[in-house]
Chain A
């Protein structure tokens, strides 16, 4: 079975802190994704990556950056956390074909105070 893990289930940070959210997948998938989920807004894509050291902006990249130094790991960075970044963050991975399923991690619920 595909396994996508995220470093924390719950995280509480203060405004202005630098925050790292880590995601690891164990299926040698090429593609990795970061979404945020907010009530009434569904899933919104923040960043994605098709390969190591590659990154592409999604729909809402402002205030975020990413790092993919190894194929299995995709990190989301909040350079200076703000209260409007309080959300559920979901990581996903998939193989390189369009028909392939995206598999999701359990999510990190981030609260910024």
Chain B
């Protein structure tokens, strides 16, 4: 079975500081990993994904994520947070070789304080 854990319900960071939103996963074999962002009363918006290759993945709006196979993690990062980054962030996983629906974590609310 596939699963995703986002250990923090809420992350607070000051504007201009680096931010990290944590994600760990469990899957049989190798994973496909995804990050999405959700602004209030909106659908989920794709940020980035890891398929294969370079462990550091760059995505939209200056976000990046690092795949760490030994720690089964895929943490989302940004060097300098903006107030407009405040939103709900979801990590999702699917096993390679499968076409099953993505399995999502419960989400982490990021608040960037000016």
Please tell me if A50 contacts chain B, counting CB pairs below 8 Å.
yes
Separation in Å of the B105 CB from the closest CB of chain A? 6
Hey, which bits of chain A sit against chain B, CB under 8 A?
4, 9, 31, 33, 35, 40-43, 45, 48, 50, 58, 90, 92, 96-99, 101-107, 109
Separation in Å of the A22 CB from the closest CB of chain B? 15
Give Cα distance in the complex from A41 to B107, angstroms.
9
Contact present for B45 and A104 (CB under 8 Å): yes
CB-CB under 8 A from B104, the residues of chain A are: 35, 42-43
CB-CB under 8 A from A109, the residues of chain B are: 41
Residue of A nearest to B99 (CB): A98
Contact present for A98 and B32 (CB under 8 Å): yes
Q: With A41-B106, A43-B90 as given contacts, are A107 and B98 in contact (CB-CB < 8 Å)?
A: no
CB-CB under 8 A from A9, the residues of chain B are: 41
Chain B 44-57 interface 0/1 with A at a Cβ cutoff of 8 Å (1 = within): 11100101000000
Please tell me if B63 contacts chain A, counting CB pairs below 8 Å.
no
Contact present for A101 and B101 (CB under 8 Å): no
Give Cα distance in the complex from A50 to B99, angstroms.
9
Separation in Å of the A59 CB from the closest CB of chain B? 9
